[in-house]
Amino acid sequence: MPPKEGSHYDLPIALGLMAALGAVPGDALSAYVVLGELSLDGTIAAVAGALPAAIGANAEGKGLICPHASGPEAAWAGADIDILAPRSLIAIANHFRGTQVLSRPEASVHVAASNLPDLADIKGQESARRALEVAAAGGHNLLMVGPPGSGKSMLAQRLPSILPRLQPKELLEVSMIASMAGELAGGRLTDRRPFRAPHHSASMAALVGGGLRARPGEVSLAHNGVLFLDELPEFSPQALDALRQPLETGECVIARANHRVAYPARIQLIAAMNPCRCGMAGEPGYRCARGPRCQTDYQARISGPLLDRIDLRIEVPAVSAGELIRPGRAEASAAVAARVLAAREIQQERLDRLGVAATTNAHCPTALIEEIAAPDAAGLTLLRDASEKLGFSARAYHRVLRVARTLADLDRSGTVGRIHLAEAISYRISAERMAQAA
Ligand SMILES: Nc1ncnc2c1ncn2[C@@H]1O[C@H](COP(=O)(O)OP(=O)(O)OP(=O)(O)O)[C@@H](O)[C@H]1O
Ligand SMILES: [Mg+2]
């Protein structure tokens, strides 16, 4: 349903009046759901939510009358839906009179430009590149910690170039949310995964949704894609806390005085931060002006429960001059994307076979993860030792298994072995260390 505020009802009211006056046939109108805003000169202005409205109308066996500019968006709801997208009241009257028949709007695809920033630009940073690939392959959350200028933002911005395209069902979900938020420019849909990077000054309503019209927030606009929070500790603690629920349930609930709205929010969280306020803690040969407190105070701004939801945590050290000068380009995104896609297909096939709606290891139900990521004997010994020594929470234990499953999938290995668990645990250890500091 489109939000009930706004001027969506201008056009229905006007058409109702015209039907009463006999300018349009009332019985023909009753086969349509109508929405649109009316300008004073009789032209019909675009409104948000045309795509969900078209899907809703179709479910009731009706057609849709919507503004001309919203037509291409509504047409996505299906080829068999009767959609009229007039520019003006005259046009709709002429259509019903048969003097000027409106043609059905075309669903337009935005051919996603392939000029996304490419991983080939990044020198060195082998382990960060590996972590980014693992995160992309399994849909895992990732936190990058490092000094200023080490390339954290640069790495995050290159994630879209290695993520697989949206599947048709995902594309529709993403577009419905964008439509509700009035963000489908020209009604053109793209099969690129959303990549949302709100500034740390973003309000809580902007982040998780809300406001007068219960508009979807960044976390929902990132559904089926990436939410990138750069300078993580600079976000308000309340805003970060509000992310905990969507991260766990894949849904974002906005409670209003008289009703509640739930938007989908199955996201991959990518976050970046400096290790301390001055940014240099832990760098060789550097001493923080404020001593170790500089680091603990800064990292404590991120709550333990939020950190617990981040599967991969890596340190991104400064690149050495030697690496920057070294000629030649690093591996390009296309090659990495191919490995990511192969690993995703393995996951998809497995989850389909099990009859689970999830598409990635990160979102596979917890009850199933122990089964699909059951380690071999050597892996089990390692996992048991590590959990005891590091005091893993139950969530940490399952998250390690998820990452290990992804590492095995990248290896095209059916079984989760010691080597996969060792790498998965290493991504976890730095997170545990940070939680203890907090
Ligand atoms: N590995 C790298 N290879 C090539 N250029 C790099 C690399 N790392 C950093 N740079 C250069 O440094 C600039 C800053 O990088 P970036 O903004 O990603 O750093 P950052 O880690 O996000 O820093 P901050 O903590 O200050 O936000 C980049 O625009 C790029 O020119
Ligand atoms: Mg940055």
Please work out whether the CB of residue 157 comes within 6 Å of at least one atom of ligand 1.
Answer: no
Helix spans in 287-393 (H)? 293-299, 304-308, 321-325, 333-353, 366-372, 377-390
pLDDT at 1: 40
DSSP 163-195: SPPPPHHHHHHHHHHHHHTT--GGG-B--SPPE
Please work out whether the CB of residue 149 comes within 6 Å of at least one atom of ligand 1.
Answer: yes
Q: How far apart are CA 16 and CA 22, in angstroms?
A: 10
pLDDT at 176: 84
- Ligand 1 atom closest to the Cα of residue 230 is 27
pLDDT at 157: 95
Q: How far apart are CA 25 and CA 97, in angstroms?
A: 8
Residue 325 burial (C-beta neighbours within 10 Å; 0-12, 13-18, 19+): exposed
Determine how β-strand 260-264 pairs with β-strand 268-273. Answer: unpaired
Residue 15 burial (C-beta neighbours within 10 Å; 0-12, 13-18, 19+): buried
Q: Which ligand is nearest to the CA of 151?
A: 1
Token look-up 């550097």 returns 286
Residues of the chain scoring pLDDT < 70: 1-6, 108-114, 185-188, 280-286, 430-438
CA 308 to chain centre: 19
- Ligand 1 atom closest to the Cα of residue 154 is 18
Q: How far apart are CA 10 and CA 109, in angstroms?
A: 29
Please work out whether the CB of residue 161 comes within 6 Å of at least one atom of ligand 1.
Answer: no
Residue of minimum CA distance from atom 27 in ligand 1: 148
**H and E: helices and strands count for the chain:** 20, 12
Backbone phi, then psi, for 375, in 5-degree steps?
Answer: -75, 160
pLDDT at 425: 93
CA distances 336 to 42, 130, 313, 359, Å, are: 53, 10, 20, 19
CA distances 29 to 17, 21, 76, 285, 337, Å, are: 12, 13, 22, 76, 49
pLDDT at 438: 46
Dihedral of alpha carbons 169, 175, 180, 181, sign: positive
Partner residues linked to 313 by β-bridges:
143
Considering just the CA atoms, what is the radius of gyration of the chain in Å? 25
Q: Structural domains in the chain?
A: 10-97 (3.30.230.10), 119-333 (3.40.50.300), 355-429 (1.10.8)
Token look-up 């603690």 returns 237
Residue among 125, 150, 283, 316 whose CB has most ligand 1 atoms within 8 A, to mutate:
150
- Ligand 1 atom closest to the Cα of residue 318 is 8
Q: Which ligand is nearest to the CA of 155?
A: 1
Note residues around ion ligand 2 (Cβ under 5 angstroms).
153
How far does residue 200's CA lie from ligand 1's centre (Å)?
A: 19
Please work out whether the CB of residue 152 comes within 6 Å of at least one atom of ligand 1.
Answer: yes
Residue of minimum CA distance from atom 25 in ligand 1: 148
For 63-103, the pLDDT digits (tens) are 999 999 888 888 888 888 899 999 998 899 899 888 888 99
Total-model pTM = 0.81
- For residue 269, the SS3 value is strand
DSSP state of 376: -
Partner residues linked to 196 by β-bridges:
227
Please work out whether the CB of residue 406 comes within 6 Å of at least one atom of ligand 1.
Answer: no
